[in-house]
Every structure is written in C-alpha cells, then in structure tokens.
C-alpha cells in the first residue's frame, strides 16, 4: 500500500518506519523543513534502540520517504495516519488543534477514497470531529479510524513489529478490511487485532495507561507504608506478584512515573470524566501519590543531612526510564531542581540524555562523562534511572571516589545488605532504613 504519515515525532516516525519495513511505500510528513532534511540524511531526532538502522535500510530501499509537502504525499495514498502532537491543555484536556488542522489539510488533499487513521492519543469523540473536519474540505469518500498506539519508549520497534494486540476502531467494513490487511504481517503469532467502535478504541488507550499508572502509584503507597511499619517492599512485591490474578508488571516501587504518556493521559482521562459529570477520585489519588513520590529522595536527603547547602551530590540517570533520552516529566528534573534550590551542587551522568538535560539545566549542573566521574567527591549519590550499566558498579571503587558513602537508590537496584556491608549508608524505596 501507499501510506502517508503526518508527524515525524516518536509515534509517527516509528509507525512509518515499521510499515516501510513490512514492504509498504511510506511517506512521512512534517512542517519542520530542517527536521525533514535531517531525516532524509538518516539523522534521527530521537533516541530509540534500533530505529536509526531501520530508517537507513528503508531509505536505501526507497520504501521510506520524507517531505514537507502534505498534498503531494496524501493525494496518492490509500491510508493516511495522523500522528501529530496532542499536548496537555490548561485543564488537563488534550489539545486537538494540531490533529484537527491536519484533518482539514488531509480533506483538501484527498483524490480518492482514503482511510484516515487517528494514531495520536486523542480523547473520546475525536474520530467524529476529525471526520467532520475532513468532510468540510472534500468531495471524496473516506473513513476515519481510531488506531491508538501502545509503544513503550526503549522498546518501540518490538512493540510495533510484535504487538500484544492491535486496536482498531471503525464502523466501516471497507476500512476494517484495509486495516486488517495492513496489520496482518505484525500479528502472525496469533496476537489479536481487536476491532471495535471508534469511541471504545479511543478510550482503550487512556484506560490502559491509567491502569498502569495506578499500579505504579499503588506499589509506591505500599512502599511508603513498608517504611513506616518496618516491612520490606521488595518482599511484599514478590508476595503480591506471585498471585496470577495480579502479576509482577508495573509493581516495582520507585520514584514515580514520568514521560510523555502516563502523566498526560491520566489528566486527560480525568478531564473526559469531568466533562460527563464523573469525578475520577481514584486517578486523583494516583496523581497525588506520584507527585509525592517524585519528592521522596529529596525528602530522605534532607532528613539525613539536615542541610544540603554547599554539599555536592551525584545523580545517575536523567531520562524518565532506561533506553530513551526523554526527560519529559522525569523524576530527575524535580530532584535536581530541588537540590539546586536548596543550595547544593549537582554532577550527573546519563548514557544518552545529556544533550536533552542541557535544555533543562544549562550550566547549573556538571555533566560527567562516566558514572564514576559523577560520583567523584560527592556527599551522596542518587540513582534515578535504572540503566543496566548502573546495576553492578565496583562498590569499592565507588566508595573510594565518594567524599561520603551515602546512596539514595530510587529504583531499588542495589542489594541493601551488600551496600551496607561495603560501608555505605543506604536508602531505598520501602526497604526499611
């Protein structure tokens, strides 16, 4: 098929590249001409393992193209994906201006029957609004489909090429057939394509992310309780997760969730509920717990030191999770700003997010080339992102480098007993102090 993808952000670039990898002729569209020219040269604006190689291969095979000319790309396409941003508005609702603007442009560019797919994360009822925007600008037949993405940053290619499920919201048998054919190569292992109405598909994305955020916050509340009563959250987690009805996924205590999806989607789902007269009290509690958890390492440090002014701290990990350079809503931002605001000095290291971090902190922190450099001479070390390279450091070397051997383990990566046996003062999440 000939496919157009509007938007070359995280979702659009991954989707377009993966469709090209399965043999389709894909053109990705963006209004940012500099970005388009860079993509044509194979320069990837995001960090995602394996994506750069896949982009290069499909450019070379002439299956993947980049342009700022929407009309030229959409006109001959059978399927058009709208994958533009839906930033959080002032009230928590998703801002649909970019989606609806794209829809109007698509309408003017249509030359024959086309399936138009909402790939952006959008609130319930957006398919109807997109359909109306297209209809005002075209005389050709079309169908609007909701096809939410379920990509995990750091594992996006695997998630797209081998999905747990594909959700397709449409009331059109014609569109259903085309979408089924498009996704058939990705579900050969019998993982399902779930066809449903567009509103149910739109709500599925928000509901899924809200449930995962809820599990994270619930486990963090349990960890806080463990610290008060002298229990070990790691033991409790294992006891809970071994119940097949519960499982282990997203039950790891830590310093809260971040990124571009969970915070925004939880707020958007609450806003949708408010619009129909429902107060989502559970999700308000999820948000409150997450906000508290992002402050917990700073709280532990202030309790331990009393005053952190004129002290130096190391921070391992800046991205909101491993295998990405995304720092949107990252717990590291609140921690570092809190330390700086209290008069402390910070030296940090992240395997890939340093360039992004400079946009947040400028020259207010020291960016260390290695994790050991970040630990040199510090009064305490914060582990914020659980990159693999941080899991098994040389503890003797680490202790020798630090001015004061104190570790604040925000992801429970280290064995508390071993850390203490090596001479460290250790603070974890729900591990007892």
Three-class SS of residue 92? coil
Phi, psi for 242 (deg, rounded to 5): -70, -15
Three-class SS of residue 204? helix
Q: Is 261 a catalytic residue?
A: yes
392: which 2 tokens? 């098994």
Q: What is the CA radius of gyration of the chain?
A: 24
Indicate the length of the chain as a whole number.
433
Where b means 16+ CB within 10 Å and e means fewer, 354-393 reads bebbeebbeeebebbeebbebbbebbbbbbbbbbeebeeb
330: which 2 tokens? 């990252």
Query: Which residue among the candidates 226, 261, 296, 371 is catalytic per the annotation?
Result: 261
Q: Residues with Cβ < 8 Å from 179, sequence gap 6 or more?
A: 79, 115, 117, 145, 147, 168, 170, 193
CB distance 96 to 171 below 8 Å: no
Q: Residues with Cβ < 8 Å from 62, sequence gap 6 or more?
A: none
* Separation between Cα atoms, residue 219 and residue 236, nearest integer Å: 9
* Element of type H or E holding 395: helix 395-401
The C-alpha angle 217, 220, 221, rounded to 5 degrees, equals: 90
> To the nearest 10°, the Cα dihedral for 317, 322, 328, 332?
-20
The CB-side HSE value for 64 (13 A sphere, CA atoms) comes to 28
Phi, psi for 23 (deg, rounded to 5): 105, 0
* Separation between Cα atoms, residue 108 and residue 106, nearest integer Å: 5
* Separation between Cα atoms, residue 392 and residue 70, nearest integer Å: 49
Just list the catalytic residues.
261
């Amino acid at each position: 098929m000939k496919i157009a993808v509007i938007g070359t952000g995280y979702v659009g670039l991954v989707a377009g590249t993966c469709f090209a990898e399965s043999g389709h002729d894909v053109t990705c569209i963006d209004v940012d001409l500099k970005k388009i020219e860079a993509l044509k040269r194979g320069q990837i604006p995001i960090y995602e393992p394996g994506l750069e190689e896949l982009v290069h291969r499909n450019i070379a095979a002439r299956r993947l193209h980049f342009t700022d000319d929407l009309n030229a790309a959409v006109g001959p396409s059978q399927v058009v994906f709208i994958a533009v941003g839906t930033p959080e508005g002032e009230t928590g609702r998703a801002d649909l201006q970019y989606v609806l603007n794209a829809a109007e442009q698509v309408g003017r560019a249509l030359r024959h029957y086309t399936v138009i797919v909402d790939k952006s994360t959008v609130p319930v009822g957006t398919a109807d609004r997109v359909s109306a925007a297209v209809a005002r600008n075209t005389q050709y037949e079309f169908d609007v489909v909701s096809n939410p993405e379920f990509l995990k940053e750091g594992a996006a290619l695997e998630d797209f090429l081998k999905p747990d499920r594909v959700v397709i919201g449409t009331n059109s048998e014609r569109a259903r057939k085309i979408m089924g054919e498009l996704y058939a190569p990705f579900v050969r292992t019998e993982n399902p394509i779930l066809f449903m109405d567009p509103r149910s598909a739109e709500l599925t994305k928000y509901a899924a992310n809200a449930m995962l955020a809820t599990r994270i916050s619930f486990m963090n509340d349990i960890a806080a309780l463990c610290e008060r009563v002298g229990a070990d959250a790691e033991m409790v987690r294992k006891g809970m997760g071994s119940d097949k009805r519960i499982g282990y996924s997203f039950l790891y205590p830590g310093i809260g969730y971040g990124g571009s999806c969970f915070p925004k989607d939880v707020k958007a789902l609450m806003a949708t509920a408010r619009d129909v007269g429902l107060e989502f009290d559970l999700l308000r509690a999820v948000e409150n717990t997450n906000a508290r958890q992002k402050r917990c390492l700073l709280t532990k440090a202030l309790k331990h030191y009393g005053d952190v002014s004129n002290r130096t701290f190391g921070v391992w990990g800046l991205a909101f999770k491993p295998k990405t350079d995304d720092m949107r809503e990252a717990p590291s931002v609140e921690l570092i700003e809190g330390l700086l605001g209290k008069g402390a000095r910070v030296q940090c290291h992240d395997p890939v997010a340093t360039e992004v971090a400079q946009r947040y902190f400028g020259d207010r922190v020291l960016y260390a080339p290695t994790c050991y450099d970040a630990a040199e001479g510090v009064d305490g070390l914060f582990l914020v992102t659980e990159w693999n390279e941080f899991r098994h450091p040389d503890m003797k070397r680490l202790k020798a480098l630090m001015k004061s051997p104190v570790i604040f383990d925000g992801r429970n990566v280290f064995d508390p007993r071993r850390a203490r046996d090596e001479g460290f003062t250790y603070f974890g999440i729900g591990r007892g102090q």
